Amino acid sequence: MTASLAQLQQTLADARTEISKVIIGHQTVVDHCLIAIFTRHHVLVEGVPGVGKTLLVRTLAQVLGTEFGRIQFTPDLMPADITGTSVFNLKQNEFHLVKGPVFTNFLLADEINRAPAKTQAALLQAMQERQVSIDNTTHALPSSFTVFATQNPQEYEGTYPLPEAQKDRFMFKLNVGYPSREEELSLATRLLGTNAPESVLERRELRAVLSPEQIASLQQSLALLTVREELVRYAVDIVRATREHESVLIGAGPRACMALILASRARAALEGRDFVSPDDVRALAEPVLGHRLVLRPEYEIEGLSVTELVSRVLEKVAVPR
């Protein structure tokens, strides 16, 4: 049974409230993670160590009442360490499947760019099809399966850049920066008491606002939001404009267009509206498109940023009224 739009909006509001008990600041990042979850997409989170990337995913899993799995990516990690493998049972004289950590609802791929491309690619099928092939047998993953991959900035030593096919499967690339002075002061103060973020998680003080089964119902309720035809054309024109811009070597593909439309619809629900506006599309253009664009070398040398590029693209596309 599909939940109502009011139920979806109330659940999103409750989730925001519970998450704020642990995560200080980073409200935009939290909102984008909720958007990805309810549109059945994945998130790539980038930031220096210690800004709360892992804590954010653990908190999301607890608040949304789902299972949580974690993989620490290292240079010697093998694909079977992620998906699992078949082990021969001598007593039963048959092979037995030992499931890997990918068999969960929320998977944290921690420091994904510390593993080479061969290991990173073990997640491709799971992210796209929500199933895993092991020894010529396909195994289904939960319908709410979501990957949250964290990575250190590329200039860090011992990192491998993610292949374009891998990056394209993430709806968003989110940058988690340092907190403001007020936020960091609040965090430091809380650490001295019993309300420290980690303590709140350990004491299970967070309320689970729904279950995995309810997530599927709420995901379907997004279809109740109104998306005008001109806004669909607007999103398509933005994505196509990235392929024609003089500074872009490789533009965004059709998957980016679908992600932008779905994300805009979820953002409208998060804001308490039953319709999508051009502001929703514009606000999500940079996190949806930024990691999918490859700049021409001469523009990279000039220091053109992806954020600036997306702004230039948006200026070239007429906003519908």
Higher-confidence residue of 234 and 68: namely: 234
User: 201, 217, 244: which is the final residue of a domain?
Assistant: 201
pLDDT above 70: percentage of residues in the chain = 93
Higher-confidence residue of 150 and 187: namely: 150
Strand, coil or helix: 275: strand
The CATH number given to whatever domain includes residue 113 is: 3.40.50.300
Say whether both 139 and 195 belong to one domain: yes
**What is the predicted pLDDT for the residue at 283?**
94
Q: How are beta strands 248-250 and 131-134 bridged, if at all?
A: unpaired
Q: Give domain status of residue 8, yes or no.
A: no
Flag whether pLDDT at 226 surpasses 60.
yes
Strand, coil or helix: 217: helix
Confidence of residue 3 (pLDDT cuts 50, 70, 90): low
Three-point CA angle 269, 237, 31, nearest 5°: 25
Q: Give domain status of residue 215, yes or no.
A: no
Query: Is 273 exposed, middle or buried, given 0-12, 13-18 or 19+ CB atoms closer than 10 A?
Result: middle
Q: Give domain status of residue 210, yes or no.
A: no
Task: Tell which phi-psi region holds residue 19, choosing left (phi > 0), alpha (psi between -120 and 50) or beta.
Answer: alpha
What's the token pair of residue 212? 């995995």
Say whether both 41 and 178 belong to one domain: yes
Q: Which domain holds residue 241?
A: 225-316
Higher-confidence residue of 189 and 291: namely: 291
Flag whether pLDDT at 151 surpasses 90.
no
**What is the predicted pLDDT for the residue at 194?**
59
Q: Give domain status of residue 104, yes or no.
A: yes
94-98, 135-139, 188-192: which range is least confident on average? 188-192
Please give the sequence-ordered ranges of beta strands (E in DSSP) within the chain, or none if there are none: 42-46, 68-72, 84-89, 94-99, 106-110, 131-134, 137-140, 146-151, 170-175, 248-250, 294-295
DSSP states along 148-160:
EEEE--TTSTT--
Say whether both 113 and 164 belong to one domain: yes
Q: Give domain status of residue 6, yes or no.
A: no
Q: Give domain status of residue 33, yes or no.
A: yes
Say whether both 62 and 194 belong to one domain: yes
**What is the predicted pLDDT for the residue at 203?**
47
**What is the predicted pLDDT for the residue at 197?**
60
Q: What is the mean pLDDT of residues 116-145?
A: 88
* Total residues belonging to the chain: 321
Q: What is the mean pLDDT of residues 134-144?
A: 87
Flag whether pLDDT at 165 surpasses 50.
yes
Flag whether pLDDT at 239 surpasses 90.
yes
Confidence of residue 241 (pLDDT cuts 50, 70, 90): very high
Say whether both 109 and 173 belong to one domain: yes
The CATH number given to whatever domain includes residue 286 is: 1.10.8.80
Say whether both 162 and 55 belong to one domain: yes
User: 143, 166, 201: which is the final residue of a domain?
Assistant: 201
**What is the predicted pLDDT for the residue at 147?**
93
- Tell me how far apart the alpha carbons of residues 135 and 83 are, in angstroms, rounded to a whole number: 11
Confidence of residue 32 (pLDDT cuts 50, 70, 90): very high
Say whether both 196 and 51 belong to one domain: yes
> Of the candidates 290, 38, 44, 293, which has an alpha carbon nearest to the alpha carbon of residue 169?
44
Residue 92, C-beta contacts closer than 8 angstroms, at least 6 positions apart: none
Flag whether pLDDT at 162 surpasses 70.
yes
Q: What is the mean pLDDT of residues 122-128?
A: 90
Higher-confidence residue of 5 and 31: namely: 31
Q: For residue range 73-90, what is the model confidence (pLDDT) as tens digits?
A: 999 999 889 998 888 777
Q: Give domain status of residue 10, yes or no.
A: no
Q: Give domain status of residue 3, yes or no.
A: no
Flag whether pLDDT at 168 surpasses 80.
yes
Computed from CA positions of residues 152, 154, 160, 162, in that sequence, does the dihedral angle turn out positive or negative? positive
Name the average pLDDT for the chain: 85
Flag whether pLDDT at 10 surpasses 90.
no
Q: For residue range 249-299, what is the model confidence (pLDDT) as tens digits?
A: 988 999 999 999 999 999 998 888 888 999 999 999 999 999 999 899 998
